[in-house]
Amino acid sequence: MLDAEGVSYGYGNSNGPVVRDVSLSATEGEVLGLIGPSGTGKTTLLRLLALFDPPDDGTVRVDGTDAWSLSKEQRTRTRRRIGMVFQDRSLFSTSVAHNAGYGLAVRRSWTERATDWLAGLVGGPSLAAPVEDALETVGLAEMADRSARSLSAGEAQRVAFARALATEPDVLLLDEPTSNLDPRNTAVIEEAVAAARDRGIGVVIATHDMQQAERIADNVAVLLDGTVIERGPADVVFESPSDERAQAFIDGELVY
């Protein structure tokens, strides 16, 4: 559904492109592990896929259409089929319910939002069904009324995951979603990723954690210095990578 074709991107400084000539696809009901050491362009690549910025070269296609050939309004509609979870804490300092429901709220008109707000004042907070489901998936439904600031890092990340899930996206982009989390919270997120895949969502997860990629990815792409050096089914790549540097990275010998 979401494809990058030969994309390159640089931040306009002398260091050159951060992502170089990368092609990959997020496919329905499949988890693609994007692995590679830190600072190798995983985040930049995910931001390109999430349509934050147009690539310097190459195209990002959604259902075969170049997303950057669309009008801004059309692109917003397209973006809304893509969910993203970031590595760092990214919750608003409001309630858990508001955070988890944010994606749905911005899809409503300003009049509808004002009505929702008034209804909330009169009748107290209520959760839309997809928001409740999403919070249920990450095991935080009972925390809906809590302030997001009072959450642990793990809980906050689960709410961020629920925020992306509640919009029922076709594609989920996850940027090192568990790199700062303890094993229990990591397990919850990984289960939620598996559940999302089973519902037919295409998942791209950037991670530098080999074990995690092995656990949850169907396919992997190894990214090094902004370019894909190895790709294929996860078990094949982990068993016998054809690229020497990919082998070194998988063996933990490639140190940056």
Q: Does 131 bind another protein (CB under 8 A)?
A: no
Considering only 11, 52, 68, 256, the residue that binds another protein (CB under 8 A) is 52
Half-sphere exposure of 61 (CA within 13 A, CB side): 14
Q: Does 94 bind another protein (CB under 8 A)?
A: yes
Smallest gap from residue 126 Cβ to another protein (A): 16
Q: Which parts of 59-78 interact with another protein (CB under 8 A)?
A: 76
Q: Does 89 bind another protein (CB under 8 A)?
A: yes
Q: Does 163 bind another protein (CB under 8 A)?
A: yes
Report yes or no: 223 and 7 within 8 Å, Cβ to Cβ.
no
Q: Does 147 bind another protein (CB under 8 A)?
A: yes
Report yes or no: 202 and 172 within 8 Å, Cβ to Cβ.
yes
Q: Does 215 bind another protein (CB under 8 A)?
A: no
Report yes or no: 2 and 50 within 8 Å, Cβ to Cβ.
no
Beta bridge partners of 66: 61
Considering only 149, 233, 240, 244, the residue that binds another protein (CB under 8 A) is 149
Residues 6+ apart with CB under 8 A from 205: 31, 32, 33, 34, 174, 177, 193, 212, 213, 216, 217
Q: With respect to another protein, which residue has the nearer C-beta, 96 or 222?
A: 96
Q: Does 219 bind another protein (CB under 8 A)?
A: no
Smallest gap from residue 95 Cβ to another protein (A): 6
Considering only 11, 68, 92, 256, the residue that binds another protein (CB under 8 A) is 92
Considering only 84, 134, 189, 216, the residue that binds another protein (CB under 8 A) is 84
Q: Please, where are the H alpha helices in the chain?
A: 42-49, 72-79, 96-106, 110-123, 129-137, 153-166, 183-198, 210-216, 234-239, 244-250
Report yes or no: 219 and 231 within 8 Å, Cβ to Cβ.
yes
The length of the chain is: 256
Q: Return residues touching another protein (CB under 8 A).
A: 50, 52, 76, 79-80, 82-84, 86, 88-95, 102-103, 106-107, 147, 149, 160, 163-164, 167
